[in-house]
Structure 1
Amino acid sequence: MAAGLSFFKLSFLLSLLSGGSDLFGPGAESGPAQIGKFPPSCNRIECPSYDLVHSGNGYEIRRYNTSVWVSTKPIQDISLVDATRTAFFQLFAYIQGKNEYHQKIEMTAPVIAQVVPSDGPFCVSSFVVSFYVPKKNQPDPAPAQNLHIQKWDPRYVAVRQFSGFVSDDTVGEEAAALDSSLKGTAWANAIAKSRKEGGVGSDSAYTVAQYNSPFEFTGRVNEIWLPFEMHV
């Protein structure tokens, strides 16, 4: 198992050092939308836990439990792909022990990128990329320079899954498709209210979650997330 996890981590680094074209290149195709597929990577590495609240047409609603993430500072870029590649260098170094505790940390999934689009003329967006901290490290997550810890209270998340490799051309389309599938539902109203009141999800347009190593060519699962608060 340890050797498998080391290869999983090394595969990210090798892809980055080679330019990452296979991982996030503009030619990478995104597969069809799917729903309810359990990410295969979560069978071998830790993922955040959640309860499935509702399955709809092209989306599902989850309630995530309390979780901890280590996050980059906002990265300004026109490309989610390039921003995520930049962030991976920082996050990979962090789990390899470049933190204040000199602590090696197990690989988890997913790696998420919170996307805040800009209204400026050059379409520069802000991306905060985060690594899910394993439960055993969550009581005292290791601090690190240029990274910060996010502690999430339980929250609801509207989710749309899609397969294949993530590319800049498809993430916006997938996010728009999730928004469209939610229209007219109580969930859409809850998301709008949470954003209006400055609650969960108000600080970003959407989040992209990626679960797989770049050398996994089958069973790939990616997700668009719209976090929100649900007041009963």
Structure 2
Amino acid sequence: MAAASLSFFKLSFLLSLLSGGSNISETRPGLVGKFPPSCNRIECPNYELVHTGNGYEIRRYDTAVWISTEPIQDISLVDATRRAFFQLFAYIQGKNEYHQKIEMTAPVISQVSPSDGPFCESSFTVSFYVPKKNQPDPAPAKNLHIQKWKPRYVAVRQFGGFVSDSTVGQEAAALQASLQGTAWANAIEKSKQDGGVGSDSAYTVAQYNSPFEFSGRVNEIWLPFEIDG
């Protein structure tokens, strides 16, 4: 029964990413401190809450390992994530060099590097969090690569509903606006200028929920950065 339930959740998560959003949504931008409900059921990366601000929070994440797609060129985050998740779902089902089935985790994250023009393709790298028991020797796979994160800080803005192309840019801009004038904004900018954490993308979108959870949905915009010393 437990195995059947897990398989159903995996399929549900896949359908969520294939759905491209929904007309059912929650207008609850700028949530702060809501624990993603998926993390009560499946493994998520560990973090310490460092600071809570007006519409944002600062977290310090522990070391983590992610399995990631190669950059995908597309004008749509939703479409790029859909394409990428076919690869990631096959990976956890055993399509890897170890022929190893891997437990579902959350979130699935999409690192976004926007284009210079309104109708040009952006670059999206989509990643699956590798469970702790697999992190010492994560299974390699064709067309996927392993990202090993050192501890890092992340500025986070939470928002409800289903992720869509029309909202993620607005939410990312709102996070940057809420950080304006803070020491955190200075640290984020310095980390980018120094070529450190966060310099390889504009922002990251984290998705946690199954498509059958119409209330209490939690998505996040991440701005990762380092602090010297």
TM-score (norm. length: structure 1): 0.94
**Alpha-carbon distance change, 58 to 15 in structure 1, aligned in 2, over 3 angstroms:** closer
Say yes or no: does 1:157 pair with 2:158: no
Question: Which digits, 9 at most, give the CA deviation of each residue in 1:185-214, with x for residues without a partner?
Answer: 000000000000000000000000000112
Aligned-pair identity (%): 81
SS at match of 2:128: strand
* 8 Å Cα contact 1:30/1:166 also seen in 2: no
Identify the residue that residue 147 of structure 1 maps to in structure 2: 144
Cα shift at 1:25: 3.3
Cα separation, partners in 2 of 1:61 and 1:15, compared to 1, 3 Å: closer
Aligned residue pairs total 227
- Residue 9 of structure 1 is matched in structure 2 by 10
* Cross-structure match for 1:107: 104
Alignment of 1:28-177 (within 5 A): 29=25, 31-33=27-29, 34-120=31-117, 122-177=119-174
Alignment deviations for residues 164-200 of structure 1 (CA, whole Å, 9 cap, x no partner)? 1000000000000000000000000000000000000
Q: Distance in 2 between matches of 1:48 and 1:12?
A: 18
CA–CA distance in structure 1, aligned partners of residues 122 and 4 of structure 2? 37
**Long gaps (5+) in structure 2:** none
Answering whether residue 212 of structure 2 is matched by residue 215 of structure 1, we say yes
- SS of the aligned residue for 1:24 comes to coil
Counterpart of 2:203 (choices 195, 199, 206) is: 206
Q: 1:185 aligns with which of 167, 171, 182?
A: 182
Deviation at 1:216, TM superposition (A): 1.7
SS at structure 2 position matched to 1:216: coil
Bigger Cα displacement from structure 2, 207-216 vs 138-147: 207-216
Secondary structure of 1:204's aligned partner? coil
TM-score (norm 2): 0.95
Instruction: Say whether the 8 Å CA contact 1:59–1:160 is kept in structure 2.
Output: yes
In the alignment, residue 77 of structure 2 is paired with which amino acid? L
Amino acid at match of 1:10: L
Q: Deviations over 1:75-132 (max 9, x none)?
A: 0000000000001100000000000000000000000000000114633100000000
Shift in Å, 1:6: 1.0
Task: Give CA deviations for 1:131-151 in whole Å, capped at 9, x if unaligned.
Answer: 000000000000000000000
Flag structure 1 segments of 5+ consecutive residues without an equivalent: none
